[in-house]
Structure 1
Amino acid sequence: MTENTVSEIERMVITRVFDAPRELVWKAWTDPKYIMQWWGPKGFTAPVCQMDFRVGGKLLCCMRAPDGQEFWNAVEYHEIVLHEKIVSLMYFSDSKGNKIDPSELGIEHEAVDGAYDVTLFEDLGNGQTKLTFIGNEPMESAKNSGQMEGWIQILDKIAAVVAELVHAK
Protein backbone atom coordinates (compact mmCIF):
# COMPACT_ATOMS: atom_id res chain seq x y z
CA MET A 1 0.00 0.00 0.00
CA THR A 2 1.36 3.42 -0.92
CA GLU A 3 0.65 6.72 0.76
CA ASN A 4 -1.13 9.41 -1.22
CA THR A 5 1.01 12.33 -2.27
CA VAL A 6 -0.11 15.75 -3.40
CA SER A 7 0.22 14.75 -7.06
CA GLU A 8 -1.86 11.56 -6.62
CA ILE A 9 -4.88 13.27 -5.05
CA GLU A 10 -7.38 15.08 -7.24
CA ARG A 11 -7.50 18.55 -5.73
CA MET A 12 -10.36 21.02 -5.95
CA VAL A 13 -9.95 23.07 -9.13
CA ILE A 14 -12.33 25.87 -10.10
CA THR A 15 -12.02 28.10 -13.16
CA ARG A 16 -13.87 31.18 -14.30
CA VAL A 17 -13.45 33.36 -17.38
CA PHE A 18 -14.02 37.07 -16.83
CA ASP A 19 -14.72 39.65 -19.51
CA ALA A 20 -12.02 41.90 -18.14
CA PRO A 21 -8.30 42.50 -18.48
CA ARG A 22 -6.07 40.43 -16.23
CA GLU A 23 -4.97 43.51 -14.25
CA LEU A 24 -8.58 44.18 -13.14
CA VAL A 25 -9.20 40.57 -12.12
CA TRP A 26 -5.92 40.67 -10.18
CA LYS A 27 -7.01 43.92 -8.51
CA ALA A 28 -10.36 42.41 -7.46
CA TRP A 29 -8.52 39.39 -5.99
CA THR A 30 -5.75 41.31 -4.19
CA ASP A 31 -7.18 44.65 -2.97
CA PRO A 32 -8.78 44.43 0.52
CA LYS A 33 -11.39 47.01 -0.50
CA TYR A 34 -12.67 44.58 -3.13
CA ILE A 35 -11.99 41.38 -1.17
CA MET A 36 -14.48 42.63 1.44
CA GLN A 37 -17.13 42.62 -1.31
CA TRP A 38 -16.65 38.95 -2.25
CA TRP A 39 -15.13 37.08 0.70
CA GLY A 40 -17.50 34.27 1.61
CA PRO A 41 -20.35 32.52 -0.17
CA LYS A 42 -23.71 34.06 -1.09
CA GLY A 43 -25.35 35.83 1.86
CA PHE A 44 -22.07 36.15 3.78
CA THR A 45 -20.34 39.48 4.37
CA ALA A 46 -16.76 40.40 5.19
CA PRO A 47 -16.75 43.23 7.74
CA VAL A 48 -12.98 43.02 8.37
CA CYS A 49 -10.13 42.44 5.93
CA GLN A 50 -6.51 43.24 6.72
CA MET A 51 -3.81 42.46 4.20
CA ASP A 52 -0.03 42.52 3.92
CA PHE A 53 0.23 41.42 0.29
CA ARG A 54 3.81 40.27 -0.11
CA VAL A 55 5.69 36.99 0.12
CA GLY A 56 5.74 36.23 3.84
CA GLY A 57 2.75 38.52 4.38
CA LYS A 58 -0.70 37.59 5.53
CA LEU A 59 -4.38 38.27 4.88
CA LEU A 60 -6.87 38.17 7.76
CA CYS A 61 -10.59 38.30 6.95
CA CYS A 62 -13.75 37.91 8.95
CA MET A 63 -16.55 36.10 7.16
CA ARG A 64 -19.96 36.77 8.74
CA ALA A 65 -22.79 34.30 8.09
CA PRO A 66 -26.37 35.52 7.55
CA ASP A 67 -27.16 34.40 11.14
CA GLY A 68 -24.36 36.64 12.48
CA GLN A 69 -21.84 33.87 13.24
CA GLU A 70 -18.30 34.96 12.41
CA PHE A 71 -15.60 32.81 10.86
CA TRP A 72 -12.06 34.13 10.55
CA ASN A 73 -9.71 33.07 7.77
CA ALA A 74 -6.00 33.72 7.42
CA VAL A 75 -3.96 33.43 4.23
CA GLU A 76 -0.17 33.25 4.20
CA TYR A 77 1.50 34.28 0.93
CA HIS A 78 4.33 32.01 -0.24
CA GLU A 79 4.78 33.11 -3.87
CA ILE A 80 3.50 36.09 -5.85
CA VAL A 81 4.09 36.61 -9.57
CA LEU A 82 2.46 39.92 -10.51
CA HIS A 83 -0.74 39.44 -12.55
CA GLU A 84 0.04 35.72 -13.03
CA LYS A 85 0.17 33.57 -9.91
CA ILE A 86 -0.35 33.50 -6.16
CA VAL A 87 0.69 30.54 -4.02
CA SER A 88 -0.77 30.70 -0.53
CA LEU A 89 -1.95 28.73 2.45
CA MET A 90 -5.46 29.49 3.72
CA TYR A 91 -6.82 28.27 7.05
CA PHE A 92 -9.44 28.99 9.66
CA SER A 93 -8.11 31.25 12.40
CA ASP A 94 -9.07 33.28 15.41
CA SER A 95 -9.48 37.06 15.09
CA LYS A 96 -5.72 37.49 15.56
CA GLY A 97 -4.80 35.13 12.69
CA ASN A 98 -3.78 32.14 14.83
CA LYS A 99 -4.63 28.86 13.13
CA ILE A 100 -7.52 26.88 14.62
CA ASP A 101 -8.96 23.48 13.80
CA PRO A 102 -12.09 23.88 11.59
CA SER A 103 -13.86 21.30 13.75
CA GLU A 104 -13.89 23.92 16.56
CA LEU A 105 -16.32 25.82 14.32
CA GLY A 106 -18.34 22.74 13.40
CA ILE A 107 -16.79 22.69 9.93
CA GLU A 108 -15.54 19.60 8.11
CA HIS A 109 -12.41 20.44 6.17
CA GLU A 110 -9.87 18.01 4.81
CA ALA A 111 -6.64 19.52 3.52
CA VAL A 112 -4.04 17.76 1.41
CA ASP A 113 -0.84 17.53 3.45
CA GLY A 114 1.87 19.76 2.04
CA ALA A 115 -0.43 21.37 -0.54
CA TYR A 116 -0.85 25.10 -1.05
CA ASP A 117 -3.66 26.97 -2.75
CA VAL A 118 -2.63 28.21 -6.19
CA THR A 119 -4.44 31.00 -8.02
CA LEU A 120 -3.56 31.52 -11.68
CA PHE A 121 -4.49 34.52 -13.83
CA GLU A 122 -4.28 33.82 -17.57
CA ASP A 123 -4.69 36.51 -20.24
CA LEU A 124 -6.88 34.91 -22.93
CA GLY A 125 -6.72 37.93 -25.23
CA ASN A 126 -9.77 39.90 -26.41
CA GLY A 127 -10.02 41.45 -22.93
CA GLN A 128 -10.73 38.13 -21.22
CA THR A 129 -9.00 36.59 -18.22
CA LYS A 130 -9.16 33.02 -16.98
CA LEU A 131 -8.82 32.59 -13.22
CA THR A 132 -7.98 29.11 -11.97
CA PHE A 133 -8.14 28.36 -8.24
CA ILE A 134 -6.52 25.11 -7.10
CA GLY A 135 -7.45 24.50 -3.48
CA ASN A 136 -5.61 22.48 -0.89
CA GLU A 137 -8.69 20.29 -0.33
CA PRO A 138 -9.34 17.01 -2.17
CA MET A 139 -12.05 17.40 -4.85
CA GLU A 140 -14.35 14.76 -3.37
CA SER A 141 -14.13 16.30 0.10
CA ALA A 142 -14.72 19.79 -1.36
CA LYS A 143 -17.90 18.59 -3.06
CA ASN A 144 -19.18 16.79 0.04
CA SER A 145 -18.39 19.60 2.50
CA GLY A 146 -19.90 22.41 0.42
CA GLN A 147 -16.51 24.04 -0.24
CA MET A 148 -16.95 23.61 -3.99
CA GLU A 149 -20.37 25.29 -4.03
CA GLY A 150 -19.03 28.02 -1.73
CA TRP A 151 -16.18 28.80 -4.12
CA ILE A 152 -18.55 28.89 -7.09
CA GLN A 153 -20.66 31.46 -5.21
CA ILE A 154 -17.52 33.43 -4.32
CA LEU A 155 -16.51 33.52 -7.99
CA ASP A 156 -20.00 34.84 -8.82
CA LYS A 157 -19.42 37.65 -6.32
CA ILE A 158 -15.95 38.33 -7.78
CA ALA A 159 -17.54 38.54 -11.24
CA ALA A 160 -19.81 41.32 -9.97
CA VAL A 161 -16.81 43.20 -8.51
CA VAL A 162 -14.87 42.78 -11.75
CA ALA A 163 -17.86 44.03 -13.80
CA GLU A 164 -17.99 47.16 -11.62
CA LEU A 165 -14.25 47.72 -12.14
CA VAL A 166 -14.68 47.36 -15.91
CA HIS A 167 -17.52 49.90 -15.96
CA ALA A 168 -15.61 52.34 -13.74
CA LYS A 169 -12.57 52.21 -16.04
Structure 2
Amino acid sequence: MSNNKMVSRVENERFLVLERVYDMPRNQLFQLFKEPEHLKRWWSTDGWELSVCNMDFRSGGVWHYCMKCIDKNQEEYGMESWSKTIYKEIIEPEKIVYNDYFSDAEGNINESMPSPEVTMEFIDLGSQTKLVSRSEFDSADSLQAVLDMGVLEGITQTWNNLDVLVEKINLSHLR
Protein backbone atom coordinates (compact mmCIF):
# COMPACT_ATOMS: atom_id res chain seq x y z
CA MET A 1 0.00 0.00 0.00
CA SER A 2 1.27 3.48 -0.79
CA ASN A 3 2.22 6.01 1.86
CA ASN A 4 -0.68 8.25 0.90
CA LYS A 5 -3.01 8.50 3.87
CA MET A 6 -6.52 9.81 4.01
CA VAL A 7 -6.84 13.26 5.52
CA SER A 8 -10.16 14.14 7.14
CA ARG A 9 -11.63 17.27 8.63
CA VAL A 10 -14.97 18.74 9.62
CA GLU A 11 -15.81 22.16 8.19
CA ASN A 12 -18.58 24.49 9.39
CA GLU A 13 -19.97 21.71 11.63
CA ARG A 14 -21.91 20.11 8.72
CA PHE A 15 -19.26 19.11 6.17
CA LEU A 16 -17.05 16.03 6.31
CA VAL A 17 -14.11 16.48 3.95
CA LEU A 18 -11.86 13.55 3.04
CA GLU A 19 -8.78 13.69 0.82
CA ARG A 20 -6.32 11.14 -0.48
CA VAL A 21 -3.86 10.88 -3.35
CA TYR A 22 -3.82 7.71 -5.47
CA ASP A 23 -0.98 6.59 -7.75
CA MET A 24 -3.19 6.41 -10.82
CA PRO A 25 -4.18 8.89 -13.54
CA ARG A 26 -7.58 10.51 -13.11
CA ASN A 27 -9.30 8.76 -16.06
CA GLN A 28 -8.32 5.34 -14.71
CA LEU A 29 -9.27 6.08 -11.10
CA PHE A 30 -12.66 7.41 -12.17
CA GLN A 31 -13.37 4.09 -13.93
CA LEU A 32 -13.01 2.28 -10.59
CA PHE A 33 -16.04 4.26 -9.33
CA LYS A 34 -18.33 3.76 -12.32
CA GLU A 35 -18.13 0.03 -13.05
CA PRO A 36 -19.80 -2.52 -10.71
CA GLU A 37 -17.13 -5.16 -11.41
CA HIS A 38 -14.47 -2.75 -10.11
CA LEU A 39 -16.52 -1.61 -7.09
CA LYS A 40 -16.98 -5.23 -6.01
CA ARG A 41 -13.20 -5.47 -5.70
CA TRP A 42 -12.75 -2.58 -3.24
CA TRP A 43 -16.01 -1.09 -1.88
CA SER A 44 -16.15 -2.77 1.52
CA THR A 45 -14.76 -2.72 5.01
CA ASP A 46 -12.71 -5.43 6.69
CA GLY A 47 -14.66 -8.69 6.85
CA TRP A 48 -17.46 -7.40 4.60
CA GLU A 49 -18.14 -7.79 0.89
CA LEU A 50 -20.27 -6.01 -1.66
CA SER A 51 -22.77 -8.84 -2.21
CA VAL A 52 -25.27 -6.87 -4.32
CA CYS A 53 -24.27 -4.05 -6.67
CA ASN A 54 -26.99 -2.73 -9.00
CA MET A 55 -25.81 0.43 -10.72
CA ASP A 56 -27.17 2.89 -13.26
CA PHE A 57 -24.23 5.30 -13.47
CA ARG A 58 -25.74 8.48 -14.93
CA SER A 59 -27.26 11.71 -13.64
CA GLY A 60 -30.59 10.66 -12.13
CA GLY A 61 -29.43 7.04 -11.95
CA VAL A 62 -29.37 4.86 -8.84
CA TRP A 63 -26.77 2.63 -7.25
CA HIS A 64 -28.45 0.18 -4.86
CA TYR A 65 -26.09 -2.10 -3.01
CA CYS A 66 -25.64 -4.40 -0.06
CA MET A 67 -22.61 -4.95 2.09
CA LYS A 68 -22.65 -8.27 3.93
CA CYS A 69 -20.44 -9.34 6.84
CA ILE A 70 -18.64 -12.55 5.83
CA ASP A 71 -16.17 -12.71 8.72
CA LYS A 72 -17.29 -15.38 11.20
CA ASN A 73 -15.15 -13.72 13.86
CA GLN A 74 -17.17 -10.50 13.79
CA GLU A 75 -20.32 -10.24 15.88
CA GLU A 76 -22.07 -8.78 12.81
CA TYR A 77 -21.44 -12.03 10.85
CA GLY A 78 -24.25 -12.56 8.34
CA MET A 79 -25.61 -9.03 8.79
CA GLU A 80 -26.53 -7.02 5.70
CA SER A 81 -26.29 -3.25 5.33
CA TRP A 82 -28.21 -1.79 2.39
CA SER A 83 -27.58 1.60 0.84
CA LYS A 84 -28.93 3.64 -2.02
CA THR A 85 -27.12 6.33 -3.95
CA ILE A 86 -28.96 8.69 -6.28
CA TYR A 87 -26.62 10.40 -8.72
CA LYS A 88 -27.30 14.12 -9.18
CA GLU A 89 -24.42 15.08 -11.47
CA ILE A 90 -21.62 13.23 -13.20
CA ILE A 91 -18.87 15.02 -15.08
CA GLU A 92 -16.50 12.34 -16.27
CA PRO A 93 -13.68 12.10 -15.15
CA GLU A 94 -13.85 15.14 -12.86
CA LYS A 95 -16.76 14.90 -10.46
CA ILE A 96 -19.57 12.76 -9.06
CA VAL A 97 -22.34 14.37 -6.98
CA TYR A 98 -24.88 12.14 -5.25
CA ASN A 99 -27.22 11.75 -2.32
CA ASP A 100 -26.28 8.86 -0.05
CA TYR A 101 -28.98 6.98 1.87
CA PHE A 102 -29.39 3.99 4.12
CA SER A 103 -32.08 1.77 2.64
CA ASP A 104 -33.63 -1.67 2.75
CA ALA A 105 -33.32 -4.53 0.25
CA GLU A 106 -36.19 -3.10 -1.80
CA GLY A 107 -34.51 0.31 -2.04
CA ASN A 108 -36.83 2.10 0.38
CA ILE A 109 -34.89 4.96 1.98
CA ASN A 110 -34.54 4.99 5.77
CA GLU A 111 -35.66 8.55 6.50
CA SER A 112 -34.54 8.34 10.15
CA MET A 113 -30.86 8.05 9.16
CA PRO A 114 -28.58 10.88 8.01
CA SER A 115 -28.40 11.30 4.23
CA PRO A 116 -25.62 13.58 3.03
CA GLU A 117 -25.09 15.09 -0.38
CA VAL A 118 -21.64 13.98 -1.46
CA THR A 119 -19.39 15.67 -4.00
CA MET A 120 -16.40 13.62 -5.10
CA GLU A 121 -13.74 15.48 -7.05
CA PHE A 122 -11.01 13.75 -9.02
CA ILE A 123 -8.14 16.24 -9.28
CA ASP A 124 -5.62 15.52 -12.03
CA LEU A 125 -2.03 15.41 -10.73
CA GLY A 126 -0.59 13.78 -13.86
CA SER A 127 0.29 10.20 -12.95
CA GLN A 128 -1.61 10.61 -9.67
CA THR A 129 -5.11 11.72 -8.69
CA LYS A 130 -6.21 13.58 -5.61
CA LEU A 131 -9.63 12.34 -4.52
CA VAL A 132 -11.62 14.87 -2.47
CA SER A 133 -14.96 13.89 -0.94
CA ARG A 134 -17.19 16.59 0.61
CA SER A 135 -20.26 15.25 2.43
CA GLU A 136 -22.80 17.91 3.39
CA PHE A 137 -25.16 16.97 6.21
CA ASP A 138 -28.38 18.77 7.14
CA SER A 139 -27.09 19.45 10.64
CA ALA A 140 -24.07 19.10 12.92
CA ASP A 141 -26.04 16.40 14.79
CA SER A 142 -26.46 14.32 11.61
CA LEU A 143 -22.75 14.52 10.91
CA GLN A 144 -21.94 13.58 14.50
CA ALA A 145 -24.32 10.61 14.28
CA VAL A 146 -22.42 9.09 11.34
CA LEU A 147 -19.08 9.85 12.97
CA ASP A 148 -20.32 8.00 16.07
CA MET A 149 -21.30 5.06 13.82
CA GLY A 150 -17.67 4.75 12.70
CA VAL A 151 -17.91 6.25 9.23
CA LEU A 152 -14.29 7.45 9.30
CA GLU A 153 -12.97 3.99 10.14
CA GLY A 154 -15.17 2.47 7.43
CA ILE A 155 -14.16 4.94 4.74
CA THR A 156 -10.50 4.60 5.70
CA GLN A 157 -10.72 0.81 5.23
CA THR A 158 -12.62 1.22 1.95
CA TRP A 159 -10.15 3.78 0.55
CA ASN A 160 -7.27 1.53 1.69
CA ASN A 161 -8.90 -1.29 -0.33
CA LEU A 162 -9.03 1.06 -3.31
CA ASP A 163 -5.33 1.80 -2.86
CA VAL A 164 -4.54 -1.95 -2.84
CA LEU A 165 -6.52 -2.39 -6.08
CA VAL A 166 -4.72 0.60 -7.66
CA GLU A 167 -1.37 -1.01 -6.77
CA LYS A 168 -2.46 -4.37 -8.24
CA ILE A 169 -3.55 -2.68 -11.47
CA ASN A 170 -0.32 -0.70 -11.65
CA LEU A 171 1.77 -3.84 -11.07
CA SER A 172 -0.15 -5.78 -13.72
CA HIS A 173 0.64 -3.04 -16.26
CA LEU A 174 4.36 -3.41 -15.50
CA ARG A 175 4.39 -7.09 -16.42
> Are residue 129 (structure 1) and residue 129 (structure 2) matched?
yes
Instruction: Check whether the contact 2:55–2:64 (CA below 8 A) recurs between aligned residues.
Output: yes
* AA of the residue aligned to 2:89: E
Tell me the TM-score normalized by structure 1: 0.81
Tell me the TM-score normalized by structure 2: 0.79
RMSD: 2.0
Q: Which has the higher contact order (CA 8 A, sep 6+)?
A: 1
- Give 2:152's aligned residue: 148
| Superposed counterparts of 1:24-103, under 5 Å | 24-65=28-69, 66=71, 67-101=77-111
Aligned partners of 2:95 and 2:131: how far apart in 1? Answer: 10
Instruction: After superposition, give the CA deviation of every residue in 1:138-164 in whole Å (9 maximum; x if it has no partner).
Output: 554443321111111110011112222
Aligned residues: 153
- Give 2:74's aligned residue: none
SS of match in other structure, 1:151? helix
Instruction: Check whether the contact 2:101–2:114 (CA below 8 A) recurs between aligned residues.
Output: no
Q: Unmatched 5+ residue regions in structure 2?
A: 1-10, 72-76
Identity of matched residues, %: 32
Change (3 A) 1:143 1:92: closer
Instruction: Check whether the contact 1:14–1:152 (CA below 8 A) recurs between aligned residues.
Output: no
Instruction: Check whether the contact 1:119–1:131 (CA below 8 A) recurs between aligned residues.
Output: yes
Q: Unmatched 5+ residue regions in structure 1?
A: 1-6, 103-108
Aligned partners of 1:18 and 1:158: how far apart in 2? Answer: 9
SS of match in other structure, 1:53? coil
Instruction: Check whether the contact 1:15–1:130 (CA below 8 A) recurs between aligned residues.
Output: yes
